[in-house]
Amino acid sequence: MVVGVVAATLRRVYQTWGTSQPVAFNHQKHVGFGIACEACHVGAKDAARATIPNVQTCALCHIPGKDNPPTPARLEAYLQEMKEIPWKEIYKAPQHVRFSHKRHVELAGLDCKACHGDIAGMERAVVRQPVALKMENCLACHRRENVTTDCLACHR
């Protein structure tokens, strides 16, 4: 059972390597405009899960047919049709893991880059995990911050 869970988790992590995203998204540029992570990733601060931006979120700034701000052609096509952008999910905790952004970001005060790396500095769309979602990384942080390492605190 444990071997199967570990194998499935590793397969999920390695499947994201080399993947491509449907739109060339520049995190650095958006952060430079003062847009916070949670503006596009709803729940990143105060919910258990964070969302992947939908086309309506992009349309708040990128108005179809307008050139300000500049809109990449591939994004323009999704906006014209208000068709969902088929982002490939890069970060997903396994089903047996209980994780809450609220507990880590709002309550513990962690910055997004603690778990996700310097996404804000990336000029390209995220195609792999800069910081791997691995239990050893979580445990190292929990030990460093003197937080429980009891298995049942994080695992179902």
- Cβ contact 24:85 at 8 Å: no
Q: What is the pLDDT of residue 152?
A: 94
Q: What is the pLDDT of residue 33?
A: 93
Decide if 76 is inside a domain.
Answer: no
pTM above 0.95, yes or no: no
Q: Is the pLDDT of residue 138 over 70?
A: yes
**pLDDT tens figures, 57-83:** 999 999 887 877 888 889 999 999 999
> What's the CA gap between 100 and 45, in Å, rounded?
9
Query: How many structural domains does the chain have?
Result: 1
Decide if 80 is inside a domain.
Answer: no
Tell me: cis bond preceding 22? Omega within 30 of 0 counts: no
Decide if 36 is inside a domain.
Answer: yes
- Cβ contact 124:26 at 8 Å: yes
**pLDDT tens figures, 9-26:** 555 544 445 579 999 899
Q: What are the residue ranges of helices labelled H in the chain? A: 2-15, 27-32, 37-40, 55-59, 73-81, 101-102, 113-116, 135-144, 151-154
Decide if 43 is inside a domain.
Answer: yes
In sequence order, what DSSP letters do the residues of 11-46 get, joined into one string? HHHHHTTT---SS---HHHHHHTT--HHHHSTTTTT
Decide if 109 is inside a domain.
Answer: yes
First-to-last alpha carbon distance for the chain, in angstroms, is 14
Domain with 137, as residue range(s), is: 2-52+87-154
Decide if 32 is inside a domain.
Answer: yes
Q: What is the pLDDT of residue 102?
A: 92
